[in-house]
């Protein structure tokens, strides 16, 4: 087998494997190097997302929500379930089954598209050579006309809460608890902390989230974040803002936490502590010094708007470059780079990256927040519609939340759409599509939506921009 390729991709997460497949589809001889080993010490494609991130967390979110519904919320539908029992082992087995099916599916996609997979650690050297060190320690060199770096990210660690793998764990280990902790602490009240907190609260844990920032979900629209804080607190999540953890110690099978809040020293004791304070790029051993690739002080690879690095014909995508660490963002970057290597035109619209928090209710948004518009001095109009006025939401028995549309006051072009409520992870795509084509709120307002659907909330929120919503009271002028 020749070790010369048109493209070599390092990393087989959502950015890397998508890039490799698209390169191969475009007729480029492509190889993909990946070092991931699963819990059985076997190679497993898909990176963090499929193995210990997006996919297993969503499996547990779905399963835990069904358990909570069976235990507490289904009687109002006329369905009586007595003594619903949790089988955590079976739940974890189902999670792993889904993960295995999807990771094996990527192997099948590589074969059907002609991507050559290499198992081991890939490292960029000078002149676009890739050193691949297999799991057996043997090394070989691949030559590439083009290189795509997509090595992903890992959970960030903090000195005040050193991981021990048993009592103090990262977000990956938190997906595989063998039993439900009676009291669970989580450092970080962002996306990962909220999702993990939701899973284990539904399964019976008392959950305490310690968030260092004074405000909740600062990356989301402030009105949506405020609604989320109210609803999550009502569910039983103990969210403590402005709580900066300064020390943690394991004593007699418990984690003792010391944190500062409002100039006071506070203490808490939990059975397990999850550190969910963000992620950092996997670039420590990605590049040899003689390659002279430019990275910043955080290990992020410097790239331009087309993901070109400081080295000719070397690209970087996904979690190791600027922007949010989101699987779909990395995938789109992978496709863009593949297209550009094949000398096709391609762009990524970084202004319209959808964000989703898969709690219940779900939170999703795209475009600018209201606070960003105020900061930038952009005049805007607002339309809102509550799910409480949605017939489909009432049929579901899930009426919390709202949809909010922000439009330019002069041109009426939609600038941002923000929502909290049922199935918002699916609804936000309508906003992304509309905004990608430069839609106005009037465009959405005159579009016909099926009835009864949750998507009608997007329609009514767009109507409300001009005070024309049908199913809520008119605004006072």
Coil, strand, or helix at residue 399?
coil
Assigned token pair, 477: 């002028």
Element spanning 84, H or E: none
Assigned token pair, 281: 């790029």
Assigned token pair, 418: 């923000």
Coil, strand, or helix at residue 145?
strand
How far apart are alpha carbons 286 and 416 in whole angstroms? Answer: 37
**Following DSSP, what letter does each residue of 215-265 receive, concatenated?**
SS-TTS-HHHHHHHHHHHHHHT-EEEETEEEEEEEEETTEEEEEEEETTEE
DSSP 343: T
Place of tokens 């950092």: 280
Query: Environment class of residue 304 by beta-carbon count within 10 Å: exposed (0-12), middle (13-18) or buried (19+)?
Result: exposed
Instruction: Report phi then psi at 393, rounded to 5.
Output: -65, -40
Q: Is 451 a catalytic residue?
A: yes
* Distance in angstroms between the alpha carbons of the first and the last residue of the chain: 74
Annotated catalytic residue, options 423, 451, 459, 471: 451
How far apart are alpha carbons 313 and 295 in whole angstroms? Answer: 16
Assigned token pair, 192: 């990962």
How far apart are alpha carbons 4 and 29 in whole angstroms? Answer: 9
Q: At what angle do helices 191-202 and 222-235 cross, to 10 degrees?
A: 20
Residues taking part in catalysis: 451
């Amino acid at each position: 087998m020749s070790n010369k390729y048109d493209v070599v991709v390092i990393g087989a997460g959502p950015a890397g494997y998508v890039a490799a497949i698209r390169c191969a589809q475009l007729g480029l001889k492509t190889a993909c190097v990946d070092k991931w080993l699963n819990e059985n010490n076997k190679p497993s494609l898909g990176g963090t997302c499929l193995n210990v991130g997006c996919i297993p967390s969503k499996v547990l979110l779905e399963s835990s929500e069904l358990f909570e519904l069976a235990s507490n919320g289904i009687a109002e539908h006329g369905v009586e379930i007595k003594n619903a029992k949790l089988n955590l082992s079976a739940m974890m087995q189902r999670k792993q089954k889904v993960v295995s099916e999807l990771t094996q599916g990527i192997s099948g996609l590589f074969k059907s598209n002609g991507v050559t997979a290499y198992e081991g650690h890939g490292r960029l050297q000078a002149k676009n050579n890739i050193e691949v060190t297999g799991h057996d320690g043997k090394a070989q060199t691949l030559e590439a006309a083009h290189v795509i770096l997509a090595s992903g990210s890992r959970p960030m660690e903090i000195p005040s809460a050193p991981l021990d793998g048993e009592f103090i764990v990262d977000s990956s280990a938190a997906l595989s608890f063998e039993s439900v902790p009676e009291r669970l602490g989580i450092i970080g009240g962002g996306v990962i902390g909220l999702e993990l907190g939701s899973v284990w609260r539904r399964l019976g844990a008392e959950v305490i989230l310690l968030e260092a920032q004074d405000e909740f979900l600062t990356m989301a629209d402030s009105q949506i974040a405020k609604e989320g804080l109210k609803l999550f607190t009502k569910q039983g999540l103990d969210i403590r803002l402005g709580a900066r953890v300064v020390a943690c110690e394991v004593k007699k099978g418990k984690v003792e936490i010391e944190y500062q809040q409002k100039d006071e020293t506070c203490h808490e004791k939990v059975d397990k502590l999850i550190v969910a304070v963000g992620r950092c790029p996997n670039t420590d051993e990605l590049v040899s010094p003689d390659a002279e690739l430019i990275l910043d002080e955080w290990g992020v690879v410097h790239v331009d708007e087309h993901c070109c690095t400081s080295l000719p014909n070397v690209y970087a995508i996904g979690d190791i470059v600027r922007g949010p660490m989101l699987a779909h963002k990395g995938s789109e970057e992978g496709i863009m780079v593949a297209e550009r290597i094949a000398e096709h035109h391609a762009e990524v619209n970084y202004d319209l990256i959808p964000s989703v928090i898969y709690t219940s209710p779900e939170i999703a948004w795209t475009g600018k927040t209201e606070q960003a518009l105020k900061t930038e001095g952009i005049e805007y109009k607002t339309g809102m519609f509550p799910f409480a006025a949605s017939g489909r939401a009432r049929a579901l028995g899930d009426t919390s939340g709202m949809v909010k549309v922000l439009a330019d006051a002069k041109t009426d072009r939609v600038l941002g759409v923000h929502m909290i409520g049922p199935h918002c992870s699916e609804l936000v795509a309508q906003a992304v599509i509309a905004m990608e084509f430069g839609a106005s709120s009037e465009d959405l307002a005159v579009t016909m939506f099926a009835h009864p659907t949750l998507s009608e909330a997007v329609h009514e929120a767009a109507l409300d921009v001009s005070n024309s919503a049908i199913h809520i009271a008119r605004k006072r002028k």
